[in-house]
Amino acid sequence: MSTLAILLQAAEAYAPFAFLGAAIGASIVVIAAGFGIGKIGKSAVESIARQPEAAGDIRASMIVSAALIEGVAFFAIVICLLIVVL
């Protein structure tokens, strides 16, 4: 038997577990992204409170960081959905 045939048989046998893994993976990604963006927001507010004159730079950095985290979370959710679809 070829290696590909063995892998396909194993994938068919454990298909329900793939759905469970995708659901757990997507939920972990969403929770971690929310926690990370919340932590960034908290730190930005504290920094602005300490140095109000640097509010514009801090706010810009916060928005860029939050956007990067959302992008990574979006890609991870897409990967989890691809597991379910394919």
Total structural domains in the chain?
1
Phi, psi of 2, rounded to the nearest 5 degrees: -80, 160
pTM of structure: 0.76
Rounded Cα gap, residues 5 and 8, in angstroms? 5
Q: Between the CA of residue 24 and those of 7, 39, 76, what are the distances in Å?
A: 23, 22, 12
1 domain residue, yes or no: no
Domain that holds residue 57: 15-85
CATH number at residue 70: 1.20.20.10
- Look at residue 80 in the predicted model and tell me its pLDDT: 85
Q: Place 85 in a pLDDT band, splitting at 50, 70 and 90.
A: confident
6-50 confidence digits (pLDDT tens)? 877 877 777 778 788 888 988 999 999 999 999 999 999 999 999
Examine residue 63 and state whether it is found in any structural domain, yes or no.
yes
Q: Is 80 exposed, middle or buried (0-12, 13-18, 19+ CB in 10 A)?
A: buried
**What pLDDT score was predicted for residue 15?**
74
> Is 37 in contact with 70 (CB distance < 8 Å)?
yes
